[in-house]
């Protein structure tokens, strides 16, 4: 038996023995090494997704680890291979899939939400979900490939081009990753963030950051763009004020990319959309090409993953890590170490 961190009900997690079934046809068994806790995991922790999550549920979809065993017909993978997982299982029959949008399948199984996730010492998944990692990439840093893939997809959905002015509203992990990916694409980027801790970290990573509580954003945008407004804004804060800011900073025919999960409807200034012919696009997940590009960006240091990791805790401390993340401002990314050594011994 091995250990798993499980969601039981709102604000209640535990660690308990778990059984890992041998991999069947088309499956592999993994030993997760590091698993990141993300904003969606926190939504689950708060009970906001109880209609979708079947407790007890093993969470976690930001991971890196190694192959342990392969199913009888799996030939492309070997024990010891370093991998991450694109945690999507689609049906290939719904209208979205038939139109080439499998990543937003209308019956999508998001592994780690709709089915058991990576926050356990052994994890069996479809071999088709594996993404190969370079041997030179440390596994703790590789755990940030999944959120980097989110950022790559977001920047692609917004159509960011070299030389464009981009505003990222929200300087949490995904916001910073979007800013870094957009900057790597040649954009001129500004991050809007209330937390002093997150502003400092973003500045240390070479990003220009604005404090909306202390600065006149309208005047900053006017001076920065010559009164033209930004070309692209990303709403990553999840707050009503963030939506207003993302709309207000845009210039004529600007594009707003909605990234954050808003648990309730928001008022939007549609007159601004009419008057400036703005465009709104949603960005939900990613595809394999986004993941492969993310691996490259993390491996070559474009994404300084080590600087984004605030803390690493053993699997037995995962419940406390969720509580620590609720404070938000002083923590960027917490990783859960699922290796046997981190727990002292498997149960």
* pTM exceeds 0.75, yes or no: yes
The pLDDT, as a whole number, for residue 20 is 80
Whole-number pLDDT of residue 15: 96
For 68-96, what is the HEC assignment? EEECCCCCCCCCCCEEEECCEECCCCCHH
Residues composing the chain: 347
Residue numbers annotated as active site: 40, 43
pLDDT of residue 328: 61
Q: Give the pLDDT score at 19.
A: 84
pLDDT of residue 201: 96
Is 10 in contact with 50 (CB distance < 8 Å)? yes
pLDDT along the chain (347 residues), means of 10: 94 92 96 96 94 96 98 97 98 98 98 97 98 98 98 98 98 97 98 96 97 97 98 97 98 98 93 98 97 98 97 96 80 94 53
- What's the rounded Cα separation, in Å, for the pair 176 and 216? 21
Q: Which tokens is 169 given?
A: 């509203």
CA pair distance 83, 270, nearest whole angstrom:
44
Instruction: Answer whether the bond into residue 56 is a cis peptide, omega within 30°.
Output: yes
Q: What pLDDT score was predicted for residue 347? A: 32
- CA–CA separation, 71 vs 193, rounded Å? 46
What is the reported pLDDT for 263? 82
Look at the block and give the residue holding tokens 């600065």.
Answer: 215
Q: What string of DSSP letters covers 124-184?
A: EEEGGGEEE--TTS-HHHHTTHHHHHHHHHHHHHHT--TT-EEEEE--SHHHHHHHHHHHH
pLDDT of residue 346: 35
């Amino acid at each position: 038996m091995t250990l798993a961190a499980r969601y039981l009900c709102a604000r209640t997690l535990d660690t308990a023995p778990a059984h890992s079934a041998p991999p069947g046809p088309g499956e592999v068994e993994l030993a997760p090494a590091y698993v990141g806790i993300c904003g969606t995991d926190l939504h689950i922790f708060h009970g906001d997704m109880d209609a979708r999550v079947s407790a007890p549920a093993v969470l976690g979809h930001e991971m890196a680890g190694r192959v342990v065993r392969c199913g009888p017909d799996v030939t492309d993978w070997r024990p010891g291979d370093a991998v991450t997982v694109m945690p999507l299982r689609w049906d290939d029959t719904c209208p979205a899939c038939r139109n080439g949008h499998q990543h937003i399948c209308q019956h999508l199984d998001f592994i780690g939400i709709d089915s058991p996730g990576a926050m356990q010492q052994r994890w069996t998944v479809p071999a088709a979900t594996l993404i190969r990692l370079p041997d030179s990439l440390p596994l703790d840093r590789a755990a940030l490939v999944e959120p980097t893939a989110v950022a790559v997809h977001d920047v692609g959905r917004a159509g960011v081009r070299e030389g464009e002015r981009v505003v990222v509203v929200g300087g949490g992990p995904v916001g910073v990753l979007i800013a870094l990916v957009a900057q790597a694409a040649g954009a001129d980027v500004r991050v809007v963030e209330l937390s002093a801790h997150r502003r400092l970290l973003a500045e240390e990573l070479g990003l220009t950051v604005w404090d909306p509580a202390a600065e006149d954003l309208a005047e900053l945008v006017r001076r920065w763009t010559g009164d033209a407004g930004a070309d692209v804004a990303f709403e990553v804060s999840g707050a009503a004020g963030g939506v207003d800011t993302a709309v207000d900073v845009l210039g004529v025919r600007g594009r707003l990319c909605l990234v954050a999960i808003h648990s309730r409807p928001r008022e939007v200034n549609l007159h601004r959309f009419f008057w400036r012919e703005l465009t709104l696009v949603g960005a939900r997940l990613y595809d394999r090409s986004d993941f492969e590009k993310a691996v490259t960006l993390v491996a070559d240091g474009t994404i300084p993953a080590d600087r984004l990791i605030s803390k690493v805790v053993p699997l037995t401390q995962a419940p406390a890590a969720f509580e620590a993340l609720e404070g938000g401002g002083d923590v960027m990314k917490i990783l859960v170490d699922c290796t046997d050594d981190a727990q002292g011994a498997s149960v």
